[in-house]
Amino acid sequence: MNKITKFRGVVVPLVTPTTTYGGVDFAALRRLIEFQIAGGIEGLLLLGTTGEGPCVPHSSWLLLVERAVAIARERLQVYVNVTEQSFLDTITTAQNVFAMGADAIVALPPFYFPPRPTELTAWFRALLDASPGPVLLYNIPMTTRVSIPLDVIGELVGHPRLVGLKDSENDAQRHAELLRRFGGRPDCSLFCGVGALMAQDLKSGMDGIVPSVGNLIPDVCHRLCAATQKGDWTEATQHADCMNAVAALYQKDRTLAQSLAAIKGLLHLRGLCSPAVFPPLLPLSAPELESLRGEAEKLDLALPTDVELLPSGKDALAVA
């Protein structure tokens, strides 16, 4: 069982860098992780929504986790989305990622057959009972079309392997009620996954945030959390405004899939990974990328980072 009793801070849902041929680009993975470490964040979420988890070939999942854990070298907590529609496959994946050194798994609700609350409670309880380590529930009805009821969470809180919830449902009232019912517990970490609500949720007592924009500006996300911890709401607002402005570069007037292609385009402009995405997503066209470059330059984002760039063909571990 993982010894961490409270998870908190900035957990960035890392993009999954891919090669032209659809494999994981491990050299780019190292660049991305080192960039995150330099930004001062606390953790990474692998194979989540921003990481195109459902689109990444299963044959690459475990190797990706193994390499990410090795690169992080205990400098970051590593969370891994393990959700499958098959319960037994979910458990098998959980066992494998914990064996590779992951700190926690992240679990979506099953969604192909939308569950009733009683079924959802039974699914999560069985997962918690069988998991070898800490479990963070993940609520994101935008993609699953299933919202985890707060009463279901109430049934599960207190289980020794449940360490908290990441809530990406864009509902301020739900988040306020979530905090009222479960905030401040030593055994339940609450993370906000909605950019527009992050500053307010931190001010109200949430333990951390899971910002996709952290892929681009992890340092600013870290400073937002630091400012809220010391009660400097003026500084926190400034950092939140910066995060929202950068997020708008890849989110405004785009679908979720298009925004994932755009964030990889921005990371490409920063010299961190290629703009390639996993099918069925499509990368930005050359004109779209150039247009994005112009917008990014206004925010000083279309510039290479100072992270050491590795030869594109080399394996991350081979040069570690």
The secondary structure of 29-58, three-state, reads HHHHHHHHHHCCCCEEEECCCCCCHHHCCH
Contact (Cβ atoms closer than 8 angstroms) between residue 45 and residue 12 = yes
Evaluate whether residue 284 is within a structural domain: no
Question: Mean per-residue pLDDT for 63-73?
Answer: 96
Evaluate whether residue 205 is within a structural domain: yes
Evaluate whether residue 59 is within a structural domain: yes
CA distance 165 to 208: 10
Contact (Cβ atoms closer than 8 angstroms) between residue 47 and residue 228 = no
- In DSSP terms, which residues pair with 192 in a beta bridge? 167, 209
Could you give the 3-state DSSP secondary structure of residue 166? strand
Name the average pLDDT for the chain.
Answer: 93
Q: Phi and psi dihedrals of 118, rounded to 5?
A: -65, -40
Q: Find the DSSP H helices in 114-212.
A: 117-130, 141-144, 150-156, 172-182, 198-204
The DSSP symbol for 190 reads: E
Contacts of 60 (CB under 8 A, 6+ apart): 23, 24
CA distance 151 to 140: 16
Q: Which helix (H) or strand (E) holds 220?
A: helix 218-229
- Which CATH number fits the domain that encloses residue 215? 3.20.20.70
The DSSP symbol for 21 reads: T
Only one residue has tokens 């950068």, namely 246
Contact (Cβ atoms closer than 8 angstroms) between residue 188 and residue 161 = no
pLDDT at 242: 97
CA distance 220 to 209: 12
CA distance 1 to 14: 24
Q: Please write the tens of the pLDDT for every residue from 277-316.
A: 999 999 999 999 999 999 999 998 878 876 654 433 333 3
Evaluate whether residue 255 is within a structural domain: no
State the CB neighbour count (10 A cutoff) for residue 242: 17
State the CB neighbour count (10 A cutoff) for residue 198: 28
For the record, the structure tokens of 36 come out as 């995150």
pLDDT at 4: 55
**How many domains would you assign to the chain?**
1
Q: Please write the tens of the pLDDT for every residue from 145-166.
A: 999 999 999 999 999 999 999 9
Of 102-116, 159-173, 304-318, which range is least confident?
304-318
pLDDT at 128: 98
pLDDT at 146: 97
Expressed as residue numbers, the domain containing 159 is 9-230
Contact (Cβ atoms closer than 8 angstroms) between residue 216 and residue 16 = no
For residue 115, is pLDDT > 90? yes
CA distance 16 to 56: 8
pLDDT at 308: 53
Evaluate whether residue 278 is within a structural domain: no
DSSP 62-125: HHHHHHHHHHHTTSSEEEEE---SSHHHHHHHHHHHHHTT-SEEEEPPP-SSPPPHHHHHHHHH
Evaluate whether residue 279 is within a structural domain: no
Q: Please write the tens of the pLDDT for every residue from 218-275.
A: 999 999 999 999 999 999 999 999 999 999 999 999 999 999 999 999 999 999 999 9
Percent of the chain residues topping a pLDDT of 70: 94
Contact (Cβ atoms closer than 8 angstroms) between residue 240 and residue 224 = yes
Evaluate whether residue 315 is within a structural domain: no
pTM for this prediction: 0.93
Evaluate whether residue 170 is within a structural domain: yes
For residue 320, is pLDDT > 90? no
